[in-house]
Structure 1
């Protein structure tokens, strides 16, 4: 509906106009009316009508002057000027403003509706033009996105520096300058066996990419993603500063946790080292891909940083000794006693810091003086479950004790045992106890 404003100092003229306009047929709606230019000015900027019908001779300033003022602010407004004068200059002025018509009194029904139809035809034409422009812009964006994906994927797969320079030149022609930053590669590989049997793979990949985009669209990172033929998401991520391992692990863990929360499914991945040279992107991609492959063997590293992967000895597939540095290898019982003591120390530290939301594999392994990779495998060997499983079990055990206190709210219990997200706490609690925290409290 197009809103119409009527300006005339004679109330009878305003009423006649309202009665003879074919409102419904022309998809028009009455907006407001005024008897002088000051009131008209106030109402115009308040209601923003599409069409203004005005007498040329109104109090304070002329209708034409008022239309000029309105047109300067909203140039697409259509004006219909009513006059008892036949002055040619007035006609020229009104047409220059974009007035649809100049109508002489007495006002005839057919004449005013014909002028209004011209105005509505103008708006429909304008709308169609805007739609075409939007469609064209969409096609251009999609084509640019396809070209961008193609060039970025070539950076991943092209080991030659000369080829990388050619790709960079192509990207610059697209108006994209991605040089002079720090870069790393992140590969996300969904474990499709853990997703629902009736899942739509393309839909889930799109959702995972949106989750990744949410965490990276914070002004800190610039990122470019594409899906490869094996249904893995490949990210080229750039940053003005050199990213620390803590930032990379936080980014990947946030993505992993959100996917677990949404789908109750697992995802693996790998993160490369960083570089400032785009000609090394292929090397980073290999690092991320190797890390991703090894992450499937490591429960506590579903998304493995290549910095941690470098700590692994060559005999990765061997038992615990494959992960034990030479300086930590001792014969027989001495080694066993030492390992038991380290695990006991780790368990004690976990119990003392259950409420710490930053408590994790890295923090505990650093506390007891072991590399996180070595500690991860030692813990699994000695305890029989992964570190993350043990930590969740202990936190939920503590939560069950706290839920016995009716004065504590569920979210307070969540925070008290180290879960900063109460929804995630509810999910883990139900997974382990088979009841929600609220349901469990009712059984006490």
Structure 2
């Protein structure tokens, strides 16, 4: 509802206006009325109406001057000026103020409602424009996040050092300040076996990242985190103080304790050595990844510092040569990483809901937040077969596993894999 204020020194005209306006039809609500400029000024700033209907001749100052005053503070206010004059300059001044119409006395019902409709059309158009701007800003934020991930991943995954400074420059243009005297890489890896199976991994990662942000946003250092295709959080941390792996280890353990408090689940982590050069981030990432990997083997080191790992040669003869093939990831592969995560989430959801008869393309695409068409094409591209073929294959695999149990009947297996018509299941089993 758009609020309307009426200003006229004649009470009968104010009453007539209230009686002839199509309030409900135009989605309007009466806000307030005034008979002079002082009262009008006080009520306007108190109620902040969207539309002001005013006589051009009111006590103390003119209605036109009053409109100018209001427009300076709230420029989107629409003004309808009522006058007995047909002076062109008045008309031009009113329009410049944003007055929708200048109406001559006597006031006609159709004329005032037509002017009000123009005003409401303006606000609807303004609202639609604002909605579009908000949508555009959302897209820009999402694209900015992708660009940040892409640039950071180039530092992590590429052994080429030549572009480090240009990447830093690009990050600064995107609003990310990671300059510091010392750099570290921290990897946090949730132990998914300790989390409930029905938990959404993306939501858990988001929660872990928020917890990490809470501990790190203390002004000591800058940091940036992104998720890789293995559902691990990779942190690039810059620090202006003297390097302290122990401090990062304590910080990581604080995050780990908070995760245990919230989920009764575990995370592991790896911390690299420090460097003064962004060109060495790739090497630090390898250190952190190997530390994280070996933390799973050592109960005493759920968060493993690479400095400690170097003192355990019997566990790792050559950390760099034992690194996983992910280190060969091409620069700028963040979009592929995100797609891999989405497909992995989809597969996980399928496995958990094979008994659901409503499980299908629409349900899975909605779960991971993609349109059905886009998800269908992406799934076929990443997996190599269609979604429906994959779903049927998984149901048949599950059925074969269940049929290995002699105590289960064929109809029980049919319901367990959402193939309630037994003949269809038998047909699929024969063709497999």
TM-score (norm 2): 0.69
Residue 57 (structure 1) aligned with residue 64 (structure 2): no
SS in 2 for 1:275: coil
Relative to structure 1, is the Cα distance of residues 58 and 97 closer, same or farther in structure 2, using a 3 angstrom cutoff?
Answer: same
The number of residues matched between the two structures is 430
Q: C-alpha deviations, 1:367-419, integer Å up to 9, x for none? A: 999999999999999999999999999999999999999999999999999xx
Relative to structure 1, is the Cα distance of residues 321 and 157 closer, same or farther in structure 2, using a 3 angstrom cutoff?
Answer: closer
Point out the more displaced range, 92-101 or 237-246: 237-246
Alpha-carbon shift at residue 194 of structure 1 (Å): 0.5
Alpha-carbon shift at residue 249 of structure 1 (Å): 2.9
* Equivalent-residue separation in structure 1 for 2:314 and 2:402 (angstroms): 46
Q: C-alpha deviations, 1:195-249, integer Å up to 9, x for none? A: 1122222222222222223333344432222211211111112233345345313
* Equivalent-residue separation in structure 2 for 1:198 and 1:375 (angstroms): 22
Q: C-alpha deviations, 1:9-68, integer Å up to 9, x for none? A: 122222221222111211112222111111111111121111111111111111000000
Q: C-alpha deviations, 1:112-165, integer Å up to 9, x for none? A: 111111011111111111111221222122112112111111111112221434
* Equivalent-residue separation in structure 2 for 1:111 and 1:379 (angstroms): 59
SS in 2 for 1:122: helix
Aligned residues: CA RMSD? 17.4
SS in 2 for 1:436: helix
SS in 2 for 1:16: helix
Residue 144 of structure 2 contacts residue 174 of structure 2 at CA under 8 Å; is this kept in 1? yes
In structure 2, what is the equivalent of residue 435 of structure 1?
423
Residue 320 of structure 1 contacts residue 377 of structure 1 at CA under 8 Å; is this kept in 2? no
Point out the more displaced range, 305-314 or 53-62: 305-314
Alpha-carbon shift at residue 189 of structure 1 (Å): 0.6
SS in 1 for 2:189: strand
Residue 288 of structure 2 contacts residue 306 of structure 2 at CA under 8 Å; is this kept in 1? yes
Point out the more displaced range, 130-139 or 175-184: 175-184
Counterparts of 1:361-440 in structure 2, within 5 Å, are none
Relative to structure 1, is the Cα distance of residues 354 and 110 closer, same or farther in structure 2, using a 3 angstrom cutoff?
Answer: closer
SS in 2 for 1:76: coil
SS in 2 for 1:234: strand
Residue 225 (structure 1) aligned with residue 228 (structure 2): no
Alpha-carbon shift at residue 85 of structure 1 (Å): 1.9
Residue 320 of structure 1 contacts residue 378 of structure 1 at CA under 8 Å; is this kept in 2? no
In structure 1, what is the equivalent of residue 296 of structure 2?
296
Alpha-carbon shift at residue 294 of structure 1 (Å): 2.3
Residue 329 of structure 1 contacts residue 335 of structure 1 at CA under 8 Å; is this kept in 2? no
Point out the more displaced range, 77-86 or 305-314: 305-314
* Equivalent-residue separation in structure 2 for 1:371 and 1:2 (angstroms): 36
Relative contact order (C-alpha < 8 Å, sep 6+): which is higher?
Answer: 2
In structure 2, what is the equivalent of residue 345 of structure 1?
345
* Equivalent-residue separation in structure 2 for 1:371 and 1:86 (angstroms): 58
* Equivalent-residue separation in structure 2 for 1:186 and 1:108 (angstroms): 73
Residue 376 of structure 1 contacts residue 386 of structure 1 at CA under 8 Å; is this kept in 2? yes
Relative to structure 1, is the Cα distance of residues 355 and 434 closer, same or farther in structure 2, using a 3 angstrom cutoff?
Answer: closer
Q: Specify every segment of 5 or more residues in structure 2 that has no aligned partner in the other structure, as ranges.
A: none
Residue 3 of structure 1 contacts residue 29 of structure 1 at CA under 8 Å; is this kept in 2? yes
* Equivalent-residue separation in structure 2 for 1:50 and 1:333 (angstroms): 50
TM-score (norm 1): 0.68
Relative to structure 1, is the Cα distance of residues 336 and 199 closer, same or farther in structure 2, using a 3 angstrom cutoff?
Answer: closer
Q: Specify every segment of 5 or more residues in structure 1 that has no aligned partner in the other structure, as ranges.
A: 418-431
* Equivalent-residue separation in structure 2 for 1:366 and 1:109 (angstroms): 51
